[in-house]
A and B are shown apart, each in its own frame.
Chain A
Amino acid sequence: MSARILTTEAPAPGITAEPVPAKPLLQVRALHKSFGGVNVLRGVDLTVNPGEVSFVIGPSGGGKSTLIRCINFLETPNAGEITFDGRLLCREEGNVFKMEPERVLRAARSEMPMVFQHFNLFSHRTVLENVIEGPVMVKRWPRDEAIAHAEKLLAEVGLADKADRYPDELSGGQKQRVAIARALAMRPKLILFDEPTSALDPELVSGILDTIRALAEQGMTLIIVSHEMGFARRLADVVHFIADGTIVESGPPARIFDNPDNPRLATFIRSILH
C-alpha cells in the first residue's frame, strides 16, 4: 500500500530533520488496575515517544488489553500516573488517586482513538457516517469538510466505493480498514490498536498489516497489542513484553525476539515460534 494515509499537517519547510530530544508523547508510571480483587496491572511503566511504534506482547490474561484500555480510560485505573501530550491525566496525591475531569479525559481520548479487535463500527451508520461521527460530533467540524476528509481517508484505505454501505455489508478486513479510517479522521496524535487482526480470517490479515505499516512509515505514533510476532519484529521500534501485570522486558525487536535474556520472555518466545 503506497497510498499516503496520514493527512495531518506536514512539517513546516524550515524545520530540518535534526533529531531533537523529543518529549515523550505518552508516559505511564506505576499503573495499577484490579478487577474484583484480581490485580491485572501491578505497576506498569511505559514511555512512548512521538513517531514510535510500540508493540505490546505477552501471554493471554497478562494485562495487554487492560493496559491500552487504561491508557485512554476506557477502563478506570486504580492507581498510577498517565501523562499524554504534556497533560497529566491521572495522578497520586498523597495516597489518593485522582483523575482529571471527564471533559479533559474526553479531549485526550479524541486524540488517541482505539482500533478494536472486533472493529466496533457503529452498526446503524454507513461507512461514511462512521468516519465523520467523531469530526462532526466531537470536533465540531463543518459537515462538508468532514465528509471531504473522510472520503479522502476512505480512498486511502481502498474503500472509496463502500462509503454508503453499512458495516454488516463488509468483510472483516474492510470493517477494520473503516475502523482505521475512523481513527485517522480524528487527526490523532496516537492510535491504539487492540489486537487488530485477531478476529480476521487469515487471508485478510496481511491487508490490515499493510495499512498499519503505511501509518507507521508516515510517522504516526502507534501502540499495538498483537500476536503477529513476525509483523512486530519487522515494524516495531520497541517491544514490551507484559506478563502477570507488569512489563517484564522492553527493548528493540531484535533483542526481544533473538536474545531474550529474561527466562519468562524466552519461554514465551519459544512457545509462539512453534
Chain B
Amino acid sequence: MYEFFFVLIPRYFPFLLEGAVVTLELSFLSMAFGLVLGMAVALGRLSGRKWLEWPLAAYVEIWRDVPLIVQLLVIYFTLPSIGLTLPAFWAGVLGLGLNLAAYLSEVFRAAILSIDPGQRAAGLSIGMSRLMIFYRITLPLALRIAIPTVGGYFIALLKDSSLVSFISVNELLRNGTIVISNTFRNMEVYMMVAIIYFVMSFVASLLVRHIEQRLTPRHLRRKQRGSKALAARPAVMP
C-alpha cells in the first residue's frame, strides 16, 4: 500500500497522464474528422445522385462490418506497402475518424430524414437558396436531433481509442502497458488506467449533456429540468 501511494503514483502517474493527453488529442481530432466526413457522406447519400450514393453506401457498410482493430492494422501496416506511410498517431486519427464517420453518417442521415419537409418548403417559399436552407434550417435541426447520439459515440471513441495502442501510439493504455512491463504491478497500474479513462469519459458525458441543454430551446429546457427534478427525488418515501 505504502509503495503504491508513495512510489508508484509519484513515479508513473505523470507518464500515464501524458498518455491520457494523447488519448484526448486522438479523440478530439478523430471526432472533428468524423463529424465533417460523416456529414459530407450523409449529404452525399441524400443528394439523389446515384453515382455518388452507391460508393458511399458501400463505404459505410464495409467500415461498419470490419472490426476497428483490423482497420487500424490495415492502415498502419498495409498502406505503407502501397507507398502510403503515416506516422502512428495520424494513422490512428485516420482509422478512428474513418470508422466514426461511417457510423455518424447514418446518424446524420436519419436526423436529416426526420426533419419535416415543410421546414424546407417554408425556406424555399421565402426565396432562400439551397445552401442557406442547409445551414440555417436543416443543419441546426439535424444537429439538435443527432447530438445525444453523437455524444454517445464520442464517449465510445474516447475508450475505443485505446485500440491504437496496437499500432504503437503512446496513448494512455500503451503507456500503462509500458509501466507494467517495468514494474510488474499490473493490478495497480490497470486500476490507475481505468480510473483515468473513467474520469475522462465522465467529464465528457457531462459536457455532452451541457451541449444538449444549450441546443435545446428555452421552453423545452424548462420541461427537461422539471423531469430531472422528478428523477432526482429520493426513491424512498418519507
List residues of A whose CB falls within 8 A of some B CB: 72, 74, 102, 106-111, 113-114, 116, 118, 120-124, 133-134, 137-138, 165-166, 168-169, 182-183, 186, 192
Contact = CB atoms under 8 A, between A and B. Distances in A.
A219 to B, nearest CB: 21
B79 interface: no
Contacts of B137: 122, 124
B49 interface: no
B74 to A, nearest CB: 41
Contacts of A113: 125-127
Contacts of A165: 219
A133 B140 CA distance: 14
B126 A133 contact: yes
Contact of B121 (A107, A120, A166): A120
B83 interface: no
B122 to A, nearest CB: 4
Given A124-B217, A166-B217, A169-B219, A110 B127 contact: yes
Given A134-B127, A137-B128, A116 B121 contact: yes
B126 A182 contact: yes
Given A114-B122, A183-B126, A186-B127, 15 more contacts: A102-B130, A106-B128, A106-B129, A114-B121, A116-B118, A116-B121, A120-B121, A122-B137, A123-B141, A124-B217, A134-B128, A138-B126, A168-B217, A168-B219, A168-B220
Contact of B218 (A72, A102, A122, A166): A166
Nearest to A69: B121
B132 A137 contact: yes
B141 A109 contact: no
A106 B125 contact: no
Contacts of A118: 118
A109 B126 CA distance: 6
A53 to B, nearest CB: 19
Interface string B137-151: 100110010000000
Interface in B131-184: 132, 136-137, 140-141, 144
A166 B126 contact: no
B116 interface: yes
B129 A122 contact: no
Given A109-B125, A109-B127, A123 B119 contact: yes
A108 B144 CA distance: 32
B203 interface: no
Given A124-B140, A166-B218, A166-B219, A109 B122 contact: no
A265 to B, nearest CB: 30
B122 A122 contact: yes
Contacts of A102: 129-130
B21 to A, nearest CB: 36
B126 A186 contact: yes
